């Protein structure tokens, strides 16, 4: 019998990254547009708080749900910025990044065979975390013609007696779409009508462009009691390697399960990281704002370059740091193939440029390619200079 973990992939992006790192080690210039790791250093006050925690010997076990100072800081943040109605810090659980938050949420929510509706395309780890909990991911296609907005009618059509939850991610990885208030409200109404939970992944809440507001679905009328929200400090404060995120849940049964799950898995986030997270949340927020400005600049550089390039049509992202491109039917292919991997392979081989094949994000992702612009502006500029010419040279021979 197949083991449940065997249903999980080793990750397409990891494969691309490993190839680029290998080429870099051999002295080749590479352009790291395959994965979403912020190029920035953590803000100085965060580093100082972590250094102080180390000096003060704050290196012991903490409460498995997080130190009180951090949970209180998160409570203030989600009340003021996300407009969530959270009664107290007991409804907040500090996790090892958003990823660990997602894992414990699906573990807490699902019984074997339960279904979760999620967008297609979607960052692969969502479907994989659903599977790891014995659940079944039910993809609902996002359409370019609808600016990759959620289609409430299509979500409703996918609901079955086994549906347990609707998963929402805005800003969205990989398309960069930002969900509108009206559509999110439509999802809430659907969840109420069919008695479903909503899982809201807001990892990119602060990577948002053109003065767009980020709307937390849990703050909308009728959503509070059926939403579990998950946040990450990886993108907001460039703390990706420090591994900290948090889950907000108001339902007593869910909270009870989530607490058991953190205790029996990570048993608390690294204590020093937690002190850094307190400083990040309570300190000045200008680094977060200036990172978003820089990401927007990189987006525009890459959009301009892709507009010049053949075989790809880029969707302009309103948030996140990904550029999702549809591959033209005239793409001549590479080594006899015309699929999305062939374009990813071509760009690596010809120019050392990283990307992610769209099929890594779900069935409808095939025929697409994703570029990340979280690497440095110099890297984005370098790749942008090369992409149009490299693609023009493609012959398929």
What are the residues binding ligand PLP (CB under 6 A)? 36, 97-99, 123, 169, 173, 201, 203, 232, 234, 240, 245
Closest to ligand PLP by CB, 95 vs 163, is 95
CB of residue 373 to ligand PLP, shortest distance in Å: 14
Quick one: residue 8, left, alpha or beta (phi over 0 = left, psi -120 to 50 = alpha)?
beta
CB of residue 197 to ligand PLP, shortest distance in Å: 17
Place of tokens 């969900």: 179
CB of residue 203 to ligand PLP, shortest distance in Å: 4
**C-alpha to C-alpha distance for 377 and 391, rounded to whole angstroms:** 21
CB of residue 254 to ligand PLP, shortest distance in Å: 19
**C-alpha to C-alpha distance for 379 and 31, rounded to whole angstroms:** 6
Closest to ligand PLP by CB, 119 vs 367, is 119
Closest CA to 65 of 290, 253, 273, 268: 268
| Sheet strands (E) in the chain | 92-95, 115-120, 136-141, 163-169, 197-201, 227-232, 245-249, 312-315, 322-327, 356-357, 368-372
**C-alpha to C-alpha distance for 192 and 79, rounded to whole angstroms:** 23
Report the relative pairing of strands 227-232 and 245-249 from DSSP bridges. antiparallel
Closest to ligand PLP by CB, 49 vs 99, is 99
**C-alpha to C-alpha distance for 226 and 166, rounded to whole angstroms:** 10
CB of residue 171 to ligand PLP, shortest distance in Å: 9
Closest to ligand PLP by CB, 84 vs 394, is 84
**C-alpha to C-alpha distance for 213 and 392, rounded to whole angstroms:** 38
Closest to ligand PLP by CB, 82 vs 232, is 232
CB of residue 184 to ligand PLP, shortest distance in Å: 16
Closest to ligand PLP by CB, 275 vs 346, is 275
**C-alpha to C-alpha distance for 95 and 65, rounded to whole angstroms:** 7
Residue nearest to ligand PLP (CB): 97
Taking the CA atoms of the chain, what radius of gyration do you get in angstroms? 21
Cis peptide before 171 (omega within 30 of 0): yes
CB of residue 344 to ligand PLP, shortest distance in Å: 18
Closest to ligand PLP by CB, 245 vs 317, is 245
């Amino acid at each position: 019998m197949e083991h449940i973990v065997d249903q999980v992939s080793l990750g397409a992006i990891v494969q691309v990254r490993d190839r680029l790192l290998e080429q870099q080690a051999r002295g080749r210039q590479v352009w790291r547009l395959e994965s979403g790791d912020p190029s920035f250093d953590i803000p100085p006050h965060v580093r100082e708080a972590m250094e102080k925690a180390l000096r003060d010997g704050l290196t012991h076990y903490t409460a498995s749900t997080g130190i009180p100072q951090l949970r209180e800081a998160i409570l203030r943040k989600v009340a003021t910025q996300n407009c969530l109605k959270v009664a107290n810090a007991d409804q907040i659980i500090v996790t090892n990044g958003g990823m660990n938050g997602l894992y414990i949420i699906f573990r807490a929510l699902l019984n074997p065979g339960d279904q979760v509706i999620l967008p297609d395309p979607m960052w692969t780890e969502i479907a994989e975390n659903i599977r790891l909990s014995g659940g079944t991911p039910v993809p609902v296609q996002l359409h370019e013609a609808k600016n990759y907005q959620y289609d409430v009618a299509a979500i409703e059509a996918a609901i079955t007696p086994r549906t347990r939850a609707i998963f929402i991610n805005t800003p969205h990885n990989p398309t960069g779409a930002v969900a509108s208030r009206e559509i999110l409200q439509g999802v809430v109404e659907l969840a109420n009508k069919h008695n479903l939970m909503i899982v809201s992944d807001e990892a990119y809440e602060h990577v948002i462009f053109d003065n767009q507001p980020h709307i937390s679905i849990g703050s909308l009328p009728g959503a509070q009691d059926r939403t579990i929200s998950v946040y990450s400090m990886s993108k907001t404060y460039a703390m990706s390697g420090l591994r900290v995120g948090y889950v907000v849940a108001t339902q007593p049964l869910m909270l009870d399960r989530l607490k058991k799950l953190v205790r029996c898995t990570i048993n608390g986030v690294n204590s020093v990281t937690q002190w850094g997270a307190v400083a990040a949340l309570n300190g000045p927020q200008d680094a977060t704002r200036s990172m978003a400005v820089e990401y927007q600049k990189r987006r525009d550089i890459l959009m301009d370059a892709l507009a010049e390039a053949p075989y790809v049509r880029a969707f302009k992202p309103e948030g996140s740091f990904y550029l999702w491109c549809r591959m033209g039917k005239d793409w001549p292919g590479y080594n006899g193939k015309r699929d999305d991997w062939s374009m990813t392979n071509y760009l690596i081989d010809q120019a050392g440029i990283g990307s992610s094949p769209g099929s890594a994000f779900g069935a409808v992702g095939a025929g697409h390619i994703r570029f990340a612009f979280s690497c440095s502006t110099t890297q984005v500029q370098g790749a942008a200079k090369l992409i149009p010419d490299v693609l023009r040279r493609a012959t398929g021979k």
